[in-house]
Homo-oligomer: A and B are copies of this chain.
Amino acid sequence: MQPLALSLTDQIVQALLGITQGLEAPLHEPSFNGHEWAYVKDCLDSTYVSSVGTYVNRFESELTKVTGARHAIAVVNGTAALHLALLLAGVRPGDEVLVPALSFVATANAVAYCHARPHFLDSEERTLGIDAHALSSWLRSQTEIRAGVCVNRRSGAVIRAMVPMHVFGHPSDLDALMRVAHDHRLVIVEDAAESLGSFIGGKHTGTLGALGTLSFNGNKTITTGGGGAVLTNDDEMARKAKHWSTTARQPHRWAFQHDALGFNYRMPNLNAALGCAQLEQLDGLVQAQRDLHNIYRDAFDAIQGVRLLHEPVGSHSNYWLQALILDRDNASHLDEILEKTNALGIMTRPLWTPLNALPHFTDCPGMPTPMAESLAARVVNIPSSPSLLRRCP
């Protein structure tokens, strides 16, 4: 019996089996340990389950308290929030929007819904977010300011906005990205879909850019079934977000007059009732995710060839999804790790396919993305539910 003879894959599998206690473990399951049923039942009893009701206003109000944003506008999901935020950022048909190649597909799809084109960016290994240094060089070489806006010299299109995404809850390097955005006249829309409860220097992710977006999908730190929100400190953008998300109908007791192209994006009150109960438990859920990280750290620090992703210095991460990064020369283990763990009921998954490799985006502009491709071959998410903590000693 020589423990040193275990392959890297088997060392990782053994460590995971120790923490999951050999039981099945989903990647991230919801935790309903508060007033979920009380609020949902109250909502049903009121019959106000749809786009009007007290819970949706309350949920928005509680979101502003939790995030420090001046305004939060609750919508049907994070994708709808991104779509609205990009429109509010002034994205027009034919524009380009800077988007990390490493993100969930919604980040780039929302750009396409505006009939604009995603312009893909490379990532950095430290945060898994946009590499600000590489981006700065890229924009200096490829763009120029004309009439106050950033123009892609090659395509001739206006680059209107940048969408940093806080991957797995870990804050991107917003300080550096905001400097780049300032130099190149770009509006920042923070995709904080994964980072509710994550802070940068005391400020909640999604509140540093002009606009931010949240998601409350079933796999997130808190869930509303389906849901999302737009965050902003700008009164006029908030007014428009609410207006456009409710079919742009002008207030009137009975007349149906709409003054712009609107959307049916308002979060239903039923989903907001669930959200209100969930949001009350946010601090505890984030703490559990952070505690789970410490347990994983103890298990993985001793294994050579792989490292557990930690929160970037100066930030406070919600540790929504725990992630292992294989060293470059161990990338070949990735498929085996995914096969063995999932076969055991321990749900793991790789990073997303880099978005610039998807068929509907292959013709889009962008910088070379060697780090995104390297990370996509080496990162694996491991079970991250707060409930997992209860299994651990």
Residues of A near any B CB (own CB < 8 A):
29-30, 32, 36-37, 40-41, 44, 47-52, 76-80, 93, 104-106, 109, 112-113, 115, 217-219, 223, 225-226, 247, 249, 253-264, 266-271, 274, 338, 342, 347-353, 358-360
Contacts and interface: CB of A to CB of B under 8 A. Distances in A.
A50 B109 contact: no
Nearest to A115: B115
B256 A338 contact: no
Contact of A270 (B263, B270, B358): B270
Give this chain's copy count: 2
A260 B112 CA distance: 11
Contacts of A225: 49-50, 268-271
Most buried by B among A105, A106, A338, A359: A105
B353 A255 contact: yes
Given A49-B225, A226-B266, 17 more contacts: A40-B40, A44-B274, A49-B218, A49-B223, A50-B217, A52-B218, A115-B115, A254-B350, A255-B349, A256-B349, A256-B350, A256-B352, A258-B353, A258-B360, A259-B359, A261-B360, A270-B274
A258 B347 CA distance: 20
Contacts of A115: 93, 115
A30 B47 contact: yes
B256 A353 contact: yes
A220 to B, nearest CB: 9
Contacts of A29: 47
B223 A50 contact: yes
A257 B362 CA distance: 13
13 contacts: A29-B47, A32-B47, A51-B217, A76-B77, A80-B264, A93-B115, A109-B262, A115-B115, A226-B268, A253-B342, A254-B342, A254-B347, A270-B274
Q: Which 6 residue pairs of A and B lie closest in terms of their CB atoms, listed nearest first?
A: A50-B218, A225-B268, A79-B264, A225-B270, A226-B268, A254-B349
